[in-house]
A = this chain, B = another copy of it.
Amino acid sequence: MLKIGIVGLGLIGGSLAVDLRSHDDIEVLGISHKLETCRQAEQQEIVDRAILLLNNGLSDEAQVNSLKDLDILFICTPIDLIIPTLKLFIEKDYLAPKTIVTDVGSVKNCIVKKASQLWDNFIGGHPMAGTEESGISAARANLFQNATYVFTPTKKTNETNLNILKNIAKNKLGSRVYECSPETHDRAVALISHAPVMISAALIKTCISENNEEVLKAAKQLASSGFRDTSRVGGGNPELGLMMAKNNRENVLRSLKQYQANLTEIIEAIEQEKWSDRENEKNLKKLLESTQRSRPDFLS
């Protein structure tokens, strides 16, 4: 029997619990700082058992043995609580030395650096799944099916531990496992996930800043699927965008500056009416042909 603990029973933690518990050879212990969440998780059989963990430790220290028993601990708290949570577990001596600790944070470098120093058996993870919802009520089965689950080992990572986590992601969650360094992960998600939030938000800002009232009114009426799609991530949860920018700041800035240079190139092509005629020069048609051709590479 594999004993898995999950701290933080929100959308991701709760959904992990549902899928893991569906296997006969896994026992899931839920850990939350909200009593109501513990009750709901038990009542809805999302976990086998749930225990309450307050800021200063377990509400009932007699539960410590359940924690010491864990083979794996998933930390599924908001990103800024991952390190504080791990610190609490270590300071309170809640973990057995063998326990593999992993997290599900959407940035990896800063977390992996700190967590690896605190705990030898730490391996960073990032399941690329989610919905607009949050909280335990949003937990659902098969959230990770066919989604990419990234692990970000370092030189120090124990291979056996990494394989245990990869097997769980692949065989128990149905995810496609991808492995890269924490640095590579953070640069890649800055490009394809974090920068797009800012790029999309700047579009909405441009539309709402239109100072001609007739044009603004028409824009609101005429906007259709193109605007809907391009503006979606920029109109999402502000806390999430803020978290991306704060925790992956350098990579997001790097991507946005490269983006600005590319947009400037497009603007110049339009200004100078470089449409398609001159064969050996950069022109708008060539650029739009290359983006049409390349986009599917990112959507396999």
Nearest CB in chain B: distance from A159 CB, A: 20
Please tell me if the beta carbons of A191 and B219 are within 8 angstroms of each other in the complex.
Answer: yes
* Residues of A267-299 whose CB lies within 8 A of B: 267, 270-271, 273, 275-276, 284-285, 287-292, 294-299
| Interface assignment of A118: CB less than 8 Å from any CB of chain B | no
Chain-B contact segment, one of A29-37, A55-63, A235-243: A235-243
Given A192-B223, A267-B253, A187 contacting B205 (CB threshold 8 A): no
Instruction: Report the minimal beta-carbon distance from A108 to chain B, rounded to whole angstroms.
Output: 11
Q: State the CA gap A237–B237 with chains docked (Å).
A: 31
User: Per a CB cutoff under 8 Å, which of B241, B252, B257 touches A288?
Assistant: B241
Pairwise interchain contact B206-A259, C-beta atoms closer than 8 A: yes
Which of chain B's residues have a CB closer than 8 A to the CB of A229? 229-230, 232-233
> A218 to B185, Cβ gap below 8 A?
yes
Counting every copy of the chain, the complex holds 2
Contact indicator B197/A226 (Cβ below 8 Å): yes
Complex-state Cα separation, A245 to B187, whole angstroms: 32
Check A148 for interface membership: any CB of B closer than 8 A. yes
Interfacial chain B residues near A196, Cβ < 8 Å? 203, 226-227, 230-231
Closest beta carbon of chain B to A226's beta carbon, Å? 5
A221 touches B148 (CB 8 A): yes
Question: Does A256 sit within 8 A of B, measured CB to CB?
Answer: yes
- Of the listed residues A185, A203, A258, the one surrounded by the most CB atoms of chain B closer than 10 A to its CB is A203
**Nearest CB in chain B: distance from A3 CB, A:** 30
Q: Is A128 an interface residue (CB 8 A)?
A: yes
A93 within 8 A of B: no
> Contact between B297 and A220 (Cβ–Cβ < 8 Å)?
yes
Contacts of A218 in B (CB 8 A): 150, 178, 180, 184-185, 187-188
Q: Which of the segments A64-72, A83-91, A137-145, A208-216 contacts the partner chain?
A: A208-216
Contacts A206-B255, A256-B267 known; 5 new A-B pairs at CB < 8 A: A148-B224, A199-B230, A204-B298, A227-B299, A253-B267
| 30 pairs from A and B in contact (CB 8 Å cutoff) | A148-B221, A148-B224, A178-B221, A181-B214, A184-B212, A184-B214, A187-B215, A188-B215, A191-B215, A192-B226, A192-B227, A197-B226, A198-B267, A198-B270, A201-B287, A202-B262, A205-B290, A205-B291, A207-B294, A208-B294, A219-B298, A226-B232, A231-B291, A235-B291, A235-B296, A245-B284, A246-B273, A252-B270, A253-B271, A260-B264
User: Which residues of A line the B interface, CB within 8 A?
Assistant: 128, 147-148, 150, 178, 180-181, 184-185, 187-189, 191-193, 195-210, 212, 214-215, 218-224, 226-238, 241-242, 245-246, 249, 252-253, 255-260, 262-267, 270-271, 273, 275-276, 284-285, 287-292, 294-300
The 7 closest A-B pairs by CB, nearest first: A235-B295, A238-B288, A188-B218, A204-B291, A223-B298, A202-B263, A192-B223
